[in-house]
Structure formats: structure tokens, C-alpha cells
């Protein structure tokens, strides 16, 4: 059996998105800035895509700026706001310890340039406490940036409440909603969001395209100088097939949000309950305030990379936050931020599902994971040591 | 990042996995915090390594290098086993991704630690410098 369970990394493009894109390569290939008819067709395609995305998120079409993806949107929103607010003497930014690197590394960049950064605790369940936020906001706070849902452990923040606090205190609020858009109900107006980043390929759209929602009135500095695209703020010929495919994918995701969510929640809970029967295992992140398709667990005494490579051999594609898979010597900062010791974080497994996954696949995972864990533990001196320490030998 | 076929072969079906209950020398290196621990068991007869087994907690390259290193020293005199470098193990595996080279250091160190344990147990004198290595291998981390 083949099980692709790495949808938080990227999704397969949907037929709907692909079918919407193809004419943009073959027939509507004009430049939206051209005045002739082929150009105008492309112009209309981009305009319609923008309007559709705005309608789904409940904002105005001219508040949507197309970008190359989530990382670009995050960089633009944070660096741009920093530049804007520094002129008013506000050089303090609040975020969380477990943001995506597109946010954390951008904050590091600003820190080196004289900004002060406060990273809120996310506690064991991966959710910030609103009182911590209230206490952290100061007179010189320029921005609060908190991710909507975490990419590794799936915990979902109380975005509406965070937004309300920011409004009350007069502080701008940005959210990296890359994992949430298309998966959770989002209403930009009701959720009190000033800026929001999203990425097309996380909801069955194409790669290399995303968007930044930026509330009218916030004059973010231009990201790319040049032509008049994106209201003069991000020059460059539009990725017409990309934005059209992204809009089609988002429409499809939004139209099926509730049924997908119900299906994914069932798959997710079945996998979590099934894998928790493995001794010395744990779930990471809140079990209720959680992305419907996210399973994040740790298995003591095993190392994540070995686990996921053995899983790949039985057809299951997953991911891990172990040091060996994070490309650094430390395990994922997300797992460390919720208080896991290094040796537990090394044994992490993330399975992220989409609506193409089935309960049969969930059962297959539940059947395949335990023998692999056992095999790895049988040859693990760490497991042997843990068993001795706990008097199990 | 991509692993060679040789690495995958040794990772999927590692050779010499297990323990030796009456081992003549046992060496354990690495630490849980770094995410890799290697434990090597040697059976030694008349200066020859007649049997070797390992247990490893770690990533695919840690398991593959353990497997390859044990293959390379089995049946060899101790003097030869002590000459085994991580470079030789990596070459025998047709290379490792650059970020994984540090994992191969553990195999070399585990063998040396097991031989030293054998020397210590049997009151055999040796030159300490021969076994000098940084416990934290190339991670350069504390502990």
C-alpha cells in the first residue's frame, strides 16, 4: 500500500487546480500588462483569482498581494512592518518560540539590526497564553506575529482573541497561516487580522506561488521595485498560471472544508489512538486545538530518520523533526519549545493527511509502525538503557 | 540529500547486529542528546577479532557505518582494527552526504573504545594517545 502522509510538507496538485492552469500556458499566455486581447484575458484571469481568494478569506481584493509563497509573504510582512514602524520609534516585535524559520530567521535578521524581539512561550500543548501576550505588549511594540497553526505539531492558536488584544492595544497583527488556509475556517475581518501569509502548494495548489493579505491603510514598503504589478509594491510579471491554480485550489478546499475536516479528524484520531498503544510513546501538541490532518508523536529510544526511512520502504511517506532530518545537529526547535528533551525529540514522527487519505491507510499505518519501532528499539543501546533505568529488564 | 545504494543496503539489512554476552571488549560512544549512540562488542582470540556485534541508536548513516565497520574488522588482528578510520568506512559505503560524515566517526571510536576495554580487562599495557578522541565526536556539543 502507498500512503503519502506528508501533506504539511507539500500536497499533490488537484485536478481542479491543474485544469484551471493549463489554459494559462496554452491560450491565455499574454502578459496581464499588455493592452491587446491576449494580455487582457490574462489580466482578467489574475483579477478573478484575486477576487476569489479575497472573497474566501473575507477581505477586499486589493488587499491581496501575490508572492512566490509563504516565506516571501512572511519576510515582506515582518521586515516591511519593522521598517514602517521604526520610523515611529517602535522597534519591538512579539512572536512565539515555535514559528516557522521564515518568521524566526527574519526576526533574527531584525534583531541584528537593533530590533528587540520577545518570543512567547508555547507551553506543553503548543498554544500561547493570552495573558503572556498582554503582558508582553509595550508602548514601542511594532508588531505581533503568531502563526495560525504549527507546521510540525499542528496546534492551533486562538487567533481571533490574539487579534482582538492587538486591536485593543493598537498593535499590528500578522499571522503565518500557511498551514491553516484551506484547512481551517478563516475570516480575516472577524479574526482581527491585519496581515496574513499563505502558500498555494499547502492546499493542492501549485508550488512557487502564495499571497500576502495586507489590510488597506498599512503602507508596507515595496518589496520589489519595477513595474506596476501588485499595486506597485511587488514588481514583476504575474505568475498567471500559479495564481489561477492557487485560487481554484483554495475555492475547492473552502467548498469542502467541513467535510474534509470531519474526515481528516477521524483519520487523525484513529492513527493517534492506534500508535499510542506503542509503549513509551506520546502525542505532541494539543489534542483538540489541532489541525485536522496532523499527527505528531515521539517514540522513545528510536531515532526519527531511521524510522521514516523504514516507513518509506513499506510505502508510507512521513517526516520527522530529528536532528538528522532537520539538517542541523539539534532536533526541531518546535519540539524543544514544548519542553521535550533532545533525546525524546529525536524520536519524532509527523504524519500529515489530506482528504485523499483513507481510514484503510490509517489502519495500514497502525499496523506497520509498531514492528519498525520494535526493530529499531531492539538494536538501540538507548532503549536498553531506558529499560534498565525503569527496571523493565 | 541522498544516500548511496551501499548505505541503504547496510541500513536496510545491517550486518552483525546484536550483542555478545561473553564479549572480551565492549565500547559505547555517542550520546542521546546528539541522537546517536553506538555500542560495539568484540570477541578476541589470540589478538584476532573473531566476532563482532553492534547495537546502534541513530540515523541511517549511523546504522550503515556500524554495519560496514564491523564487516571491515571481523577476522582482522586488533592492530589492523585500530587503524580503521572513519574515512575508510565512508569510502567503503561509496560516500555519505556531507552533513552525515560526523556519524561515521562514531564507528571508528566505538571500535577503539571496545579494544581499550579489552586491554583494560586483561591488564594489557597500551599507549593512551592511541585512543585519544573527543567523546562528543564532531558534534562539538557539551556533555
Place of cell 472577524: A190
- With cut-offs at 50, 70 and 90, classify the pLDDT of residue B138: very low
Q: In angstroms, how far is CA A16 from the centroid of its own chain?
A: 22
Rounded alpha-carbon distances, angstroms, from residue A290 to A263, A296, A392: 14, 10, 34
Could you report the per-residue pLDDT of B58-81, keeping only the tens digit for each?
999 999 999 999 999 999 999 999
Whole-number pLDDT of residue A144: 98
Q: Is A303–B62 a contact, with Cβ atoms under 8 angstroms apart? A: yes
The residues, any chain, with a CB within 8 Å of residue A388's CB and separated by 6 or more, are: none
Please count the residue pairs, one from chain A and one from chain B, whose beta carbons lie less than 8 angstroms apart: 72
Q: In angstroms, how far is CA B117 from the centroid of its own chain?
A: 14
Provide, as residue numbers in chain A, all residues whose Cβ is less than 8 Å from the Cβ of B28: 381
Cross-strand bridge partners of residue A143: A93, A172
Question: Do A237 and A31 touch, CB atoms closer than 8 A?
Answer: yes
ipTM score of complex: 0.91
- Report CA dihedral (A223, A225, A230, A232) to the nearest 10 degrees: 120
The CB-side HSE value for A355 (13 A sphere, CA atoms) comes to 18
Q: Is A374 on the interface with B (CB under 8 A)?
A: no
Question: Do A243 and A66 touch, CB atoms closer than 8 A?
Answer: yes
| Substitution target from B9, B57, B61, B104 for chain A, most A beta carbons within 10 A | B57
The kind and range of the H/E element at A119 are: strand A116-120
Q: Is A324–B11 a contact, with Cβ atoms under 8 angstroms apart? A: no
pLDDT at B29 over 80: yes
Whole-number pLDDT of residue B134: 54
Rounded mean pLDDT for each run of 10 residues along chain A, 393 residues in total? 96 98 97 96 98 98 98 98 97 98 97 98 98 98 98 97 98 98 98 98 98 98 96 97 98 98 98 98 98 97 95 96 69 95 94 98 98 97 93 78
The residues, any chain, with a CB within 8 Å of residue A279's CB and separated by 6 or more, are: none
Overall residue count recorded for chain B in this entry: 143
pLDDT at B3 over 70: yes
Rounded distance between C-alpha atoms, residue A263 and residue A187, angstroms:
22
**Whole-number percent of chain B with pLDDT over 90:** 76
CB atoms within 10 A of CB A218: 15
- Report CA dihedral (A326, A79, A180, A10) to the nearest 10 degrees: -40
Assign A47 to helix, strand or coil: helix
Cell of A166: 492587538
With CA atoms as reference, report the closest residue to B69 among B119, B135, B1, B10: B10
With CA atoms as reference, report the closest residue to A64 among A184, A198, A226, A245: A198
**Across the interface, which of A304, A329, A381 has its CB nearest the CB of B37?**
A381
Provide, as residue numbers in chain A, all residues whose Cβ is less than 8 Å from the Cβ of B37: 380-382
Place of cell 509563504: A70
- Which is higher by pLDDT, B105 or A362? A362
What crossing angle do the helices spanning A240-255 and A257-275 adopt, rounded to 10°?
Answer: 80
pLDDT at B142 over 60: no
Whole-number pLDDT of residue B32: 87
With CA atoms as reference, report the closest residue to B55 among B84, B87, B17, B83: B17
- With cut-offs at 50, 70 and 90, classify the pLDDT of residue B136: very low
Q: Is A303–B100 a contact, with Cβ atoms under 8 angstroms apart? A: no
Whole-number pLDDT of residue B89: 94
Scanning every residue of chain A, which has its alpha carbon at the shortest distance from the alpha carbon of B138? A329
Overall residue count recorded for chain A in this entry: 393
pLDDT at B140 over 60: no
Q: What is the DSSP letter of A100?
A: -
Strand order in the sheet with A172-176: A64-67, A210-214, A195-199, A172-176, A141-145, A92-96, A116-120
- With cut-offs at 50, 70 and 90, classify the pLDDT of residue B139: very low
Q: Is B34 annotated in the active site?
A: yes
Cell of A1: 500500500
Provide, as residue numbers in chain A, all residues whose Cβ is less than 8 Å from the Cβ of B1: 327
Amino acid at each position: 500500500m502507498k500512503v503519502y502522509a506528508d501533506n504539511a510538507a507539500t500536497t499533490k496538485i488537484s485536478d481542479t487546480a491543474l485544469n484551471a492552469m493549463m489554459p494559462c500556458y496554452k491560450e491565455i499566455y499574454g502578459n496581464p500588462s499588455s493592452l491587446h486581447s491576449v494580455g487582457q484575458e490574462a489580466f482578467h484571469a489574475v483579477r478573478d483569482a484575486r477576487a476569489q481568494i479575497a472573497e474566501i478569506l473575507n477581505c477586499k481584493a486589493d488587499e491581496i498581494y501575490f508572492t512566490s509563497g509563504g516565506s516571501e509573504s512572511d519576510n515582506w510582512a515582518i521586515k516591511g512592518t519593522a521598517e514602517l514602524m521604526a520610523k515611529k520609534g517602535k522597534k519591538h516585535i512579539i512572536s512565539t518560540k515555535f514559528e516557522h524559520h521564515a518568521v524566526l530567521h527574519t526576526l533574527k535578521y531584525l534583531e541584528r539590526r537593533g530590533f528587540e524581539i520577545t518570543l512567547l512561550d508555547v507551553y506543553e500543548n503548543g498554544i500561547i497564553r493570552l495573558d503572556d501576550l498582554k503582558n508582553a505588549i509595550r508602548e514601542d511594540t511594532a508588531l505581533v506575529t503568531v502563526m495560525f497553526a504549527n507546521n510540525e505539531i499542528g496546534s492551533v492558536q486562538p487567533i481571533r482573541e490574539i487579534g482582538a488584544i492587538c486591536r485593543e492595544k493598537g498593535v499590528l497583527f500578522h499571522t503565518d497561516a500557511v498551514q491553516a488556509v484551506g484547512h481551517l475556517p478563516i475570516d480575516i475581518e472577524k479574526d482581527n487580522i491585519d496581515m496574513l501569509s499563505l502558500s498555494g502548494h499547502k492546499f493542492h495548489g501549485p508550488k512557487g506561488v502564495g499571497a500576502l493579505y495586507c489590510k488597506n491603510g498599512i503602507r508596507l514598503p515595496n518589496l520589489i521595485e519595477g513595474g506596476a504589478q501588485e499595486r506597485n509594491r511587488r514588481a514583476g510579471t504575474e505568475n498567471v498560471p500559479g495564481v489561477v491554480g492557487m485560487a481554484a485550489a483554495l475555492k475547492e478546499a473552502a467548498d469542502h472544508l467541513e467535510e474534509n475536516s470531519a474526515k481528516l479528524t477521524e483519520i487523525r484520531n484513529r492513527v493517534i489512538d492506534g500508535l499510542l498503544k506503542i509503549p513509551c510513546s506520546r502525542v505532541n501538541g494539543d489534542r483538540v486545538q489541532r489541525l485536522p490532518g496532523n499527527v505528531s508523536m515521539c517514540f522513545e529510544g528510536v531515532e526519527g530518520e531511521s524510522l521514516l526511512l523504514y516507513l518509506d520502504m513499506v510505502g508510507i511517506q512521513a517526516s520527522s523533526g530529528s536532528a538528522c532530518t532537520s539538517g542541523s545537529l539539534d532536533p526541531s526547535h518546535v519540539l524543544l519549545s514544548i519542553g521535550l528533551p533532545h533525546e525524546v525529540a529525536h524520536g519524532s514522527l509527523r504524519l500529515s493527511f489530506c482528504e485523499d487519505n483513507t481510514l484503510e491507510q490509517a489502519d495500514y499505518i497502525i499496523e506497520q509502525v509498531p514492528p519498525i519501532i520494535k526493530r529499531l528499539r531492539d538494536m538501540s543501546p538507548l532503549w536498553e538503557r531506558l529499560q534498565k533505568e525503569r527496571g523493565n529488564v | 540529500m541522498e544516500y548511496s545504494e551501499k548505505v541503504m543496503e547496510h541500513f536496510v539489512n545491517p550486518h552483525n547486529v546484536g550483542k555478545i554476552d561473553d564479549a572480551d571488549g565492549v565500547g559505547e560512544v555517542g550520546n542521546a542528546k546528539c541522537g546517536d549512540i553506538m555500542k560495539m562488542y568484540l570477541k578476541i582470540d589470540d589478538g584476532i577479532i573473531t566476532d563482532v556485534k553492534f547495537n546502534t541508536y541513530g540515523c541511517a548513516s549511523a546504522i550503515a557505518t556500524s554495519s560496514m565497520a564491523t564487516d571491515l574488522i571481523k577476522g582482522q588482528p586488533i592492530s589492523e582494527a585500530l587503524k580503521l578510520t572513519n574515512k575508510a568506512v565512508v569510502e567503503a559505503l561509496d560516500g555519505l552526504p556531507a552533513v552525515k560524515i560526523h556519524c561515521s566517526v562514531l564507528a571508528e571510536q566505538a571500535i577503539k573504545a571496545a579494544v581499550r576495554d579489552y586491554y583494560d580487562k586483561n591488564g594489557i599495557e597500551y599507549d593512551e594517545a592511541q585512543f585519544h578522541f573527543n567523546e562528543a565526536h564532531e558534534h562539538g556539543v557539551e556533555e
